[in-house]
Amino acid sequence: MVFIVNYKIQISKSIEELSEHFAQLLIEKVNNSKDCFYLALSGGSTPKRIFEYLTAHHYKSVDWQKVNFYWGDERCVPPTDHESNYKMAYNSLLNKLQIPASNIFRIKGENDPQFEADNYSAEIINHLKIENNFPRFDLIMLGLGEDGHTASIFPNQISLLTSDKIYSTAIHPDSGQTRITITGKVINNARNIVFIVTGKSKSKIVDRVFNNKVDAKKYPASFIKPLNGKLFWLLDKEAASQLRGN
């Protein structure tokens, strides 16, 4: 399958500058959208810093009332657990916005994993527009793990990239933690996919994935290429340090 890839890379001097780039992207996409904006949040330490920045600097710039919040993945823990992606997003962003609770669609990590993967898949199908036979998000935030995982699609479960499921269960290869994750076809069906990657520890994997190095096919993030959307890589200079010219 040949991908038509539109992508844009922005390399920032700091997490604050990267967060501002993300904020401007979100403002442009949300405020120009006609109706509901379907946004899938990511977990991880970098998104947490971005959420805090949005709260501090763009509380009023984004038309938050339009945004329906979903998650790209969740750990199978209760929403009160420190591991919960929902808890992180709620504490760093959502509870600061005056938005109705009905705009927030968390993955219920406390449920049986398979039940919840199926339940959340049904919610997504019911709420989002179906295009190219899959639900279409307006924007999906993604992080990048040092092993090349994104969302909770890990190298040892690369079949989740081609699954026809909307969300699936997954197992973290190191911790053994059960997760629920969006699948590759839904990610690639999005209008906008935004990788957010910071820190020196990510420089090697960024080079391998971004420059499509020989072993790139081992890394799930290498397969993230929107079918007819836009791909953005927001990196800080440390994460980009092994890319040519940096």
Is 148 near ligand 6PG (CB under 6 A)? no
Q: Footprint of ligand 6PG on residues 37-66 (CB under 6 A)?
A: 42-46
> Measured at CB, which residue is nearest to ligand 6PG?
143
Separation CA 212–CA 219 (nearest Å): 10
Select 47 or 66, whichever has its Cβ closest to ligand 6PG: 47
Is 205 near ligand 6PG (CB under 6 A)? no
Contact region for ligand 6PG (CB under 6 A) — 16-24, 144-152, 161-169, 237-245?
A: 144-152
List the one residue from 143, 148, 220, 226 that touches ligand 6PG (CB under 6 A).
143
Asked if 69 and 90 count as a contact pair (C-beta separation under 8 A), the reply is: no
Contact region for ligand 6PG (CB under 6 A) — 19-27, 138-146, 225-233, 237-245?
A: 138-146
Is 145 near ligand 6PG (CB under 6 A)? yes
Separation CA 217–CA 186 (nearest Å): 19
Cα–Cα separations (whole angstroms), residue 69 to 36, 45, 162, 195: 10, 18, 24, 17
Select 66 or 75, whichever has its Cβ closest to ligand 6PG: 75
Cα–Cα separations (whole angstroms), residue 26 to 30, 148, 223: 6, 25, 23
Torsion, Cα 148 13 142 224, to 10 degrees, reads: -60
Is 157 near ligand 6PG (CB under 6 A)? no
Asked if 23 and 51 count as a contact pair (C-beta separation under 8 A), the reply is: no
Q: Footprint of ligand 6PG on residues 68-97 (CB under 6 A)?
A: 73, 85
Interface with ligand 6PG (CB under 6 A), residue total: 14
SS3 category, 225: coil
Select 74 or 138, whichever has its Cβ closest to ligand 6PG: 74
SS3 category, 233: strand
Q: Retrieve residue 188's tokens.
A: 């690639």
First-residue to last-residue Cα distance in the chain: 32
List the one residue from 18, 67, 151, 186 that touches ligand 6PG (CB under 6 A).
151
For residue 196, give the H/E element and its range.
strand 192-197
Q: Footprint of ligand 6PG on residues 168-187 (CB under 6 A)?
A: none
Write out the residues near ligand 6PG by the rule CB under 6 A.
42-46, 73, 85, 143-145, 149-152
